[in-house]
Structure 1
Amino acid sequence: MSPPVRVLYSFPHKLGGGRICTTAWHQVDGASRAGAKVTVIVGSQVKALNEGVRVKKTLAVGKLRVPYRLIGRDVACNWHDTVTAMWLNANHREIDVVHGWPLSSLKTIRAAKKHGIPVVLERPNAHTGFAYEEVAKENQNVGIELPGNHDHLFNQKRLDLEETEYREADYLLCPSDFVARTFRERGYEDAKLVRHQYGFDGSRFKAPGNEGTPHDGLVMIYAGVVEPRKGLHHALKAWLASGAQEHGTFMVCGEFIPGYAELLQPMLSHPSVKVMGHRTDLPDLMRQSDLFVLSSVEEGSALVTYEARGSGCVLLVSDASGAVCEHMQNGLIHPSRDVAALTEHIRMLDVDRGLLSKLRGSSTSDLDKLTWDEAGRKLVDVYREVHKRKVA
């Protein structure tokens, strides 16, 4: 039996927090339980890991944590990268593979190269240049400006740093075919683009059963940060044009960025639309829903689409959502910004409940392939493969 692959996992943020911090926690926990020997260097940590993981912190001492808002994200990420590179230089004989995150890995990548250690760089979103362009276009179409601290507000310095990281990392970990495509279109070779996946927590998100929940009208749900790049305006237009709004319900869950709700108010005020704000009961709301909609113009592989499938929702998603589903097999996929296609998809499922049942059955039949446990096993396979290539 071969020895476990030894991984340095570098994450500059709050491990176990929300969004990408959730992704990182599950990756570390899942890879460790799948057989990797993981050392994780993090900015700080809010959720415990299994005992097999060695944890070091760059922005915390005991229970004291340096707030990002105090020193700024760029400074925090640079400090994290510096400390991680120093640790790697001193302990390189203990590591087979380095797994880094954007904006905090360049020095670590260079330290790894010096010692002949392969580096995989996480790509939680599309190529950042592509994302900047698409988000700016969508905001202009809607007529809104992003807040000054928004991650998708154009920043040349950050873009330059990320593109340098892209070039110098050995591999880019792409959680969806869409992400890989945005890099391929910008000249990156297939050999550099490695597919992996994210997952959902099956202990929280559970489908209601094969029969689903019977409704007189369709129940559709949107959940997440509510901003133009997520395409809620497209989803609302499609819903209100589909006919489903006559007897159905569209639940909108999440916090709006400033100004967006005001622009959408004529559609949000329709009696079939329920604006529900930030929710802590998403698993329950998803179990009550027939459909989950995400009409994004760019994503990585939205965790909420995994969670919706795990809860029994049929996905209605754009081809830029990074969702794991197949059109007309276990979900419906429309071209990004194509409101007419999304309208037809909603109308089709409202009229043909047999098709809805068929898609739901197919969607829930292989959920074991979409769990975080499975994502951890696939990630360890990636680690072993890139280490083997380097050794060979």
Structure 2
Amino acid sequence: MPGLLGRSRGIIARGNGRAYGDAAIGERLTLGALGLDRMKAFDPQTGRLTVEAGVLLADILAAFVPRGFFPPVVPGTKLVTVGGMIAADVHGKNHHREGSFGDHVERLTLVQPSGEAVVCGPHDNPDLFRATVGGMGLTGVITEATFRMKPIETGWIRQRTVVAGDLAGALKALDESDAATYSVAWIDCLSRGADLGRSLVFVGEHATRQEVASDLPRADILPQSRAGRLGVPIDLPGWTLNKASVAAFNEVYFRQGAKKSGTSFLAHWDPYFFPLDGVHRWNRIYGRRGFFQHQCVVPPFTAHAALSEILDRITRSGKASFLAVLKKMGAGGSLMSFPMPGYTLALDLRVTDETFALLDDIDRIVVAAGGRLYLAKDARQSRQTFEAGYPALGRFNDIRGAIGATGHLASHLSSRLGI
């Protein structure tokens, strides 16, 4: 690897290929990292775990949930590598309290373009560390990382549902859930008028042994992951996901969710955190042309106005987002990290010729609101949109230049955005 990095230009490391855009496609050469798949050390007293960068989150969960440990932060899929989680500085349902995954990394090993392996962390080579976390692989190849797992009593989540009649209610419910470990809102992006932004806010905590013994006396206290039983065998015709079908689904989903409000229940950790992982090839519901996932974050003082305008544009366009998720975020910790204090909205939109124009309109709303887009889910934002959202880009490029990464490390994403 060291020699390859030094000789090659336009190279980028690739984990399990779960980024939604072109971040893990090298401009000229893509370096697979799945062979770095060893778990090297674990201290049960501290929860400190050291793994190679190609280890899958799914394998960590399979090994450690039965032992009573859970990762400090998980994204919406477990089919990602630790190196990819660091490069994208992934976040989860607990960002408002626990920050991003990078906030919990104590040290990592980075192979630079020169071939030198450098250890960095919050206190060792901190500038390089802050550029690497969230740096989308553009400072070197991560080969190893150490972070702390957190102890859990059970593998169950105590979940309750809060019904929000409109967007203002959803934002208020998320604010009032600040003390909760996990919170996320499903948002009906096709609701209109007084119901614009109606939502179901799901709040969760790791359940105690006593709670599981009381509610599910025959259940496994620390259950393994659940194998997916469903799948989409073919690419569905494009017309199946339309405004009418999604509106009908949203109405049923909202009503069923509202029935559960006011009470709590125990949810298995796997479908709670990774619902789509249980449906094989779920992307096929969008048809052969696929879909865009668009995720933005906007600051608190502009959030209501900006998100209202985004939802109104989607409703008026007739472009149905089958999945729309709203979360509250805290501060970001690194130079190119996506999170910032505010609220993040993730949308799935089927690819059509009109979708490009709609997303351009949404991007302008985000920029005007002082927000930005998530690089791990981006496939088409403009350079102007990107530069407006990432004020530390100049410092990031300076660090890349100082270590000889400019030109050597390049992805289709970095070339498109001028990094």
Q: TM-score scaled to structure 2, two decimals?
A: 0.28
Higher helix residue share? 1
Higher strand residue share? 2
